[in-house]
Amino acid sequence: MIDVLVVDDDFRVAQVHAGFVDLVPGFRVAGRARTAADARDKAARADLVLLDVYLPDESGLDLLPCLSADVIMASAVTDPESVRTALSRGALHYLIKPFTAAELGERLQAYARYRSRLSVGDRLTQADVDRALGTLHETARGAPKVVKGQSPVTSRLVAEALRRAGEPRSAAEISEEVGISRATAQRYLASLAQAGRVLVSLRYGSTGRPEHEYLWRPGQSGPLAR
């Protein structure tokens, strides 16, 4: 399991990004931080940091080289100098906000493959290093319609229910409509989000924790359209 620290001064954005991380198999949120000082304390317990540039006490660009964990920048800052600075100081990726669960998921999966390639044997050849670095910038193309171990029929039913709704639905609402458990609905919705077919956001109630809600992505002509 790869532990991720989400660093963003906007707690709602941090919640959304943490939710995106939770959708990716093999990754979990190790914590959240809203300041550079907090991030310094928590980064030692993470494998990967999702780091914003704008923090209230220090720029994420200045914080970046101080972190022992790997870093993916996640920021709305788009000027070339900031991007070059982030990459020169060790960021593995620079992801521009706003981004989708699928876009972050592709980077996380590429990062997992990168870590795996650098964990083979006691010594690495130049070819090993080259393949690992190349893997970092690979993104999933033509994702399979159904994740291994999932039923094509159930996947189609979940996708069709969401497409038909025409508005955001929670896993609980989809589970009731399709007649499956909430946990099962959550798994299939997460797979659709990972494939980029649905958009994920947070629904805030008057009390309790916010829950994920899912919306069929505009432009998708059918439940399993590419």
Residue of 49, 55, 57 lying closest to 73 (CA atoms):
49
Q: Which of 71, 107, 69 is nearest to 86 (CA)?
A: 71
175 and 203 fall within a common domain:
yes
> What value does the mean pLDDT take over residues 119-144?
76
End position of a domain, from candidates 107, 136, 165: 136
Q: Is residue 54 a contact partner of residue 77, using CB atoms and an 8 Å limit?
A: yes
pTM for the complete prediction? Answer: 0.65
84 shares a domain with 171: no
Q: Is residue 224 part of a domain?
A: no
Structure tokens of 205? Answer: 């109630």
Which of 109, 136, 163 delimits the end of a domain?
Answer: 136
Say yes or no: 161 and 68 in one domain.
no
Q: Does 15 map to a domain?
A: yes
CB 163 within 8 A of CB 141: no
Domain that residue 43 falls in: 2-136
pLDDT band of 194, cuts 50, 70, 90: confident
Residue 143 within a domain: no
CB 90 within 8 A of CB 43: no
At residue 225, the pLDDT reads 42
140 has pLDDT over 80: no
Confidence of residue 161 (pLDDT cuts 50, 70, 90): confident
Identify whether residues 123 and 208 lie together within a single domain: no
Q: 202: domain CATH number?
A: 1.10.10.10
Cis peptide before 218 (omega within 30 of 0): no
Segment 77-130, tens digit of pLDDT: 999 999 999 999 999 999 998 887 778 888 998 999 999 988 877 888 899 889
Residues 106 and 165 in one domain: no
What beta strand segments (E) does 69-187 contain? 70-75, 93-96, 169-170
Q: For the chain, how many structural domains are there in total?
A: 2
